[in-house]
């Protein structure tokens, strides 16, 4: 029997139908030599701190940093999860081969691998990798099953991402909550969440600090065309009025007149972020809701896999384009001009070097029915029209530039005219067609002759400088994609994606998390940091936690792990080192920027770290853990001189009780203290006992 494991019951039913496994059982489908079962998203998660040590239920600075020797997984505590896992575990033991049919992406790989690991799967394993759930796509996928080992790097990257989020989230949240929370609130820190909040807070501060200033511009009208003085804005009304008087005394003269023909490139196909941006701009949909709508369209077989970060298609998909376009019966007036001739194979659309796990989001041959929700119809319409538009010709335009002068003051006017609409024809009937921000560029400019002159009507335009614009979900998603850099050019933005913060599939959830934790709020379409969000970012002085660029470097390394170009274990060791350094510096009151550096191999023999003048060597005692460094005395603990590499320390307060240096000396030299009383915050409510070390040099009370 061959066991297929899908990520959702609905997907399992689609696969079972194709395979002929039509007999419904309790938690799976059976037939034709196959069993098809399912998870429903995550059944497993990384173990929590108290799963490693019950004492870690209590949030205590003395227990930080929490770094398990080996990370484990556990079932999510839920009766439905436990029941379905029992089905999977039984089938895994009975089958001859397993086919991983999880969502074809990094998260899908981790979800399925963790479940199979928990079920102790030792059977041969294949991988189904498909980009849509149509019957043809499923059949084609089963005809091209891959060995699961080919996706090992994808799993290692996803697993490293989860561990990285755990290490920083667990330790930094406890660290800042206990150090700065005042016992009133949890200060939630996250690898992607915190730099995203930092961007919003920074923009908020720029807006709050902005002071509007008046400015004046000189303009004039000549033959019904408005010309702008091609000089810096004037900062005083007196200078503007003086300039106006000067203009009245001189005639208007055309210096040059030029028309250049150009082209506007077709828009790119959608990746998930671009779709979320467009849906937010056009319909005000949140990133989370857009993901929900497009995921539903995918599961209903109307569009391809949505959680993608590329705007390109694989070159081998080109022959299928005609069939998809021909099937789009609701768009016949738009597809008709394309179907009578070969579909162009542009490198702006088809490029294997730009496609990773999946291609861009496009429609399938299965058109939606009238039963779709209104929101799903509108999102489908965005995808369908974008797909059609990429195969139209480029839009041909003419740009007119007129330069003139009045006396010695230069003037300029520009205009744009569409000569052949090309791809813009697809959007001609849209009510909310993209508007030009500068209305004056829309003016019709007649033909001028260099040297002509005449009377004109000069005037002054008074305005005020504007503050930076608050983030909307659309602009925040773009900022996350480019690690905070303001990038309009699509090609440059594509190059920066590898260093963006978060993944397309997780960015919506990050924004929603900031809402739920009341760090941000929405005012109309704008995202605004709350006082709590502002205070949290102000509390964090360390750039490691709030820098989009540094977090982007982490993402870059995770992508390298996917490609087999970086070791997952090295990435984890770097994170462990950073967490240790962060913890030690915050506890000692030092908040210096921590730069992300690639870990270097540890020398065979540890050299003794040079002693800093500020370090107080304690008792000339060797560290009991690494045995190669002395112990030093800090403000809150006694710890290893090489704390970054070793991690050993004993705090002056343990489980709510102040510990004397004599008691710490007993613990370090003898391995335990005498019997002590007065513990106030032990997770098991112990009030007295003997402190001793665990095998990993954690501290426990017994």
Taken in order of first residue, the domains within the chain and their CATH numbers are 2-144 (3.40.50.140), 166-208+486-587 (1.10.460.10), 215-266+395-464 (2.70.20.10), 272-389 (1.10.290.10), 616-701 (no CATH)
Rounded distance between C-alpha atoms, residue 492 and residue 94, angstroms: 52
DSSP letter string, 416-466: EEEEE-GGGGGGTT-TTPPPPS-GGGGS------TT-EE--EEEEEEEE--
Rounded distance between C-alpha atoms, residue 442 and residue 635, angstroms: 67
Q: Parallel, antiparallel, or unpaired: how do β-strands 691-693 and 699-701 relate?
A: antiparallel
Q: Given this model, what pLDDT does residue 599 score?
A: 30
Q: Given this model, what pLDDT does residue 91 score?
A: 97
DSSP letter string, 495-521: HHGGG-SS-HHHHHHHHHHHHHTTSEE
Q: Please report which confidence band the pLDDT of residue 489 belongs to, taking 50, 70 and 90 as the band edges.
A: low
Q: pLDDT digits over 287-331, tens only?
A: 999 999 999 999 999 999 999 989 999 999 999 999 999 999 999
Sheet containing 125-127: order of strands: 23-25, 28-31, 34-38, 2-6, 97-101, 125-127, 146-147
Q: Please report which confidence band the pLDDT of residue 592 belongs to, taking 50, 70 and 90 as the band edges.
A: very low
- Give the mean model confidence (pLDDT) for residues 555-575: 90
User: Which among 88, 95, 108 has a CA at the least distance from the CA of 148?
Assistant: 108
Q: Given this model, what pLDDT does residue 374 score?
A: 94
Q: Quick check: 660 pLDDT over 60?
A: yes
Q: Please report which confidence band the pLDDT of residue 41 belongs to, taking 50, 70 and 90 as the band edges.
A: confident
State how far the alpha carbon of 77 is from the alpha carbons of 73, 82, 683, in Å: 12, 7, 21
Q: Quick check: 49 pLDDT over 90?
A: yes
Say which residue, 489 or 592, is predicted with more confidence.
489
In the chain the first and final C-alpha atoms are separated, in Å, by 51
What's the CA angle centered on 620, arms 614 and 625, to 5 degrees? 95
Share of the chain above pLDDT 70, in %: 90
Q: Given this model, what pLDDT does residue 442 score?
A: 65
Q: What is the largest CA-CA distance in the chain?
A: 102
Which are the catalytic amino acids?
305
The most confident of 26-35, 538-547, 669-678, by mean pLDDT: 26-35
Q: Given this model, what pLDDT does residue 432 score?
A: 46
Q: pLDDT digits over 503-527, tens only?
A: 888 899 999 999 999 999 999 899 9
What's the CA angle centered on 649, arms 646 and 651, to 5 degrees? 160
DSSP letter string, 542-590: -HHHH-HHHHHHHHHHHHHHHTTSS-HHHHHHHHHHHHHHHHHHHHTT-
Q: pLDDT digits over 107-163, tens only?
A: 889 999 999 999 999 999 999 999 889 999 999 999 999 999 999 999 999 999 999
Q: Given this model, what pLDDT does residue 648 score?
A: 81
CB 138 within 8 A of CB 130: yes
As a residue count, the chain comes to 702
Q: Given this model, what pLDDT does residue 487 score?
A: 54
Rounded distance between C-alpha atoms, residue 300 and residue 376, angstroms: 11
CB 225 within 8 A of CB 384: no
CA atoms within 13 A on the CB side of 196: 31
Say which residue, 251 or 503, is predicted with more confidence.
251
């Amino acid at each position: 029997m061959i066991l297929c494991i899908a990520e959702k019951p609905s997907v399992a039913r689609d696969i079972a139908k194709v395979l002929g496994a039509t007999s419904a059982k309790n938690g799976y489908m059976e037939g034709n030599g196959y069993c098809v079962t399912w998870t429903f998203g995550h059944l497993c998660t990384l173990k929590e701190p108290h799963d490693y040590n019950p004492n870690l239920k209590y949030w205590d600075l003395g227990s930080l940093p929490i770094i398990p020797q080996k990370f484990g997984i556990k079932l999510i505590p839920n009766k439905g999860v436990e029941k379905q896992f029992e089905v999977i575990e039984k089938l895994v033991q009975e089958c001859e081969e397993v086919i991983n049919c999880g969502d074809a992406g990094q998260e899908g790989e981790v979800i399925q691998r963790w479940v199979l690991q928990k079920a102790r799967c030792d059977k041969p394993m294949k991988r189904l990798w498909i980009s849509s759930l149509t019957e043809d796509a499923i059949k084609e996928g089963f005809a091209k099953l891959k060995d699961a080992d080919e996706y090992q790097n994808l799993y290692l990257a996803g697993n490293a991402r989860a561990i990285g989020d755990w290490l920083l989230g667990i330790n930094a949240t406890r660290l800042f909550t206990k150090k700065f929370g005042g016992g009133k609130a949890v200060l939630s820190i996250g690898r992607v969440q915190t730099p995203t909040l930092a961007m919003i807070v920074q923009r908020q501060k720029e807006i709050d600090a902005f002071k509007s200033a008046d400015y004046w511009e000189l303009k004039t009208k000549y033959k019904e065309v408005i010309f702008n003085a091609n000089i810096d804005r004037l900062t005083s009304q007196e200078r503007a009025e003086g300039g106006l008087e000067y203009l009245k005394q001189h005639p208007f003269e055309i210096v040059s007149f030029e028309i250049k023909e150009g082209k506007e490139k077709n828009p790119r196909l959608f990746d998930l972020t671009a779709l979320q941006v467009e849906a937010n701009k056009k319909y005000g949909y949140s990133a989370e809701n857009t993901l929900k709508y497009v995921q539903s369209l995918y599961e209903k077989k109307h569009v391809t896999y949505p959680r993608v970060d590329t705007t390109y298609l694989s070159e081998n998909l080109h022959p299928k384009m005609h069939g998809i376009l021909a099937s789009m019966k609701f768009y016949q007036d738009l597809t008709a001009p394309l179907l009578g001739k070969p579909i162009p194979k542009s490198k702006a659309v088809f490029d294997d070097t730009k496609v990773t796990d999946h291609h861009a989001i496009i429609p399938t041959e299965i058109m939606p029915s009238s039963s779709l929700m209104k929101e799903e119809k509108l999102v489908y319409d965005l995808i369908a029209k974008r797909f059609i538009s990429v195969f139209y010709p480029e839009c041909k335009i003419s740009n007119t530039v007129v330069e003139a002068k009045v006396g010695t003051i230069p003037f300029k006017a520009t205009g744009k005219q569409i000569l052949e609409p090309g791809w813009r024809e697809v959007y001609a009937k849209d009510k909310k067609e993209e508007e030009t921000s500068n209305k004056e560029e829309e003016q019709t400019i007649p033909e001028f002759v260099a040297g002509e002159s005449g009377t004109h009507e000069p005037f002054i335009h008074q305005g005020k400088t504007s503050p930076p614009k608050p983030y909307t979900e659309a602009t925040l998603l773009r900022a996350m994609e480019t690690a905070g850099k303001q990038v309009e050019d699509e090609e440059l933005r594509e190059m920066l994606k590898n260093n963006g913060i978060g993944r397309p599939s997780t960015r919506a959830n990050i924004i929603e998390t900031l809402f739920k934790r009341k760090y941000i709020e929405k005012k109309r379409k704008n995202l605004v940091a709350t006082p709590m969000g502002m205070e949290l970012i102000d509390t964090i002085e360390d750039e490691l936690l709030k820098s989009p660029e540094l977090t982007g470097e982490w993402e870059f390394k995770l992508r390298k792990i996917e490609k087999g170009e970086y070791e997952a274990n090295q990435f984890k060791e770097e994170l462990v080192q950073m967490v240790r350094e962060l913890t030690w510096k915050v506890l000692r009151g030092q908040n210096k920027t921590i730069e992300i550096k690639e870990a270097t191999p540890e020398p065979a023999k540890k050299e003794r770290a040079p002693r800093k003048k500020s370090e107080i060597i304690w008792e000339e005692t060797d560290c009991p853990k690494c045995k190669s460094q002395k112990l030093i005395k800090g403000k809150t603990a006694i710890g290893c001189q090489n704390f970054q590499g070793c991690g050993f320390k004993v705090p002056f307060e343990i489980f709510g009780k102040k510990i004397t240096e004599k008691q710490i000396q007993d613990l370090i030299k003898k391995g335990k203290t005498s019997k002590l009383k007065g513990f106030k915050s032990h997770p098991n409510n112990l009030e007295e006992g003997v402190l001793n070390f665990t095998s990993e040099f954690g501290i426990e009370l017994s």
